[in-house]
């Protein structure tokens, strides 16, 4: 069975952020964590999963766009009557 606690460095690697970002997110309440032993900090795996799910963006569906009408553009030549 997978442990429900993760080391800060493991959470950082999984989320592709620095360990300092993990500490900040814990302080902000974005990640849940607990101290074990003499101050060793562990992150709750469920809070990492919840953070990923909460920030997962919907993948845009691929649709075909309607063809655009191409209009040729003519540039004005030098003024010949001035």
Answer yes or no: is 77 within a domain: no
Please write the tens of the pLDDT for every residue from 4-24.
999 999 999 999 999 999 999
Supply the pLDDT for residue 62: 64
Can you give the C-alpha Rg of the chain in angstroms? 27
Please write the tens of the pLDDT for every residue from 27-62.
999 999 999 998 899 999 999 999 999 888 766 666
Answer yes or no: is 66 within a domain: no
Dump the DSSP string for 49-74: HHHHHHHPPPPPPP-PPPPPPP----
Supply the pLDDT for residue 81: 57
What's the domain range around 19?
5-55
Supply the pLDDT for residue 80: 60
Angle 29-30-36 (CA atoms, 0-180°, nearest 5)? 65
> Regarding beta strands 40-44 and 33-36, do their DSSP bridges make them parallel or antiparallel, or are they unpaired?
antiparallel
| Predicted TM-score (pTM) of this structure | 0.64
* Helix and strand counts by DSSP (H, E) for the chain: 3, 3
Answer yes or no: is 67 within a domain: no
């Amino acid at each position: 069975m997978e442990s429900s606690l993760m080391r800060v460095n493991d959470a950082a690697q999984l989320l592709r952020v620095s360990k300092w970002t993990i500490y900040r997110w814990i302080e902000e309440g974005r990640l849940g964590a607990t101290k074990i032993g003499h101050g060793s900090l562990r992150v709750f795996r469920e809070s990492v999963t919840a953070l990923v799910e909460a920030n997962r963006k919907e993948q845009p569906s691929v649709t075909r766009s309607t063809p655009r009408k191409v209009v040729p553009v003519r540039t004005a030549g030098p003024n010949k009557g001035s």
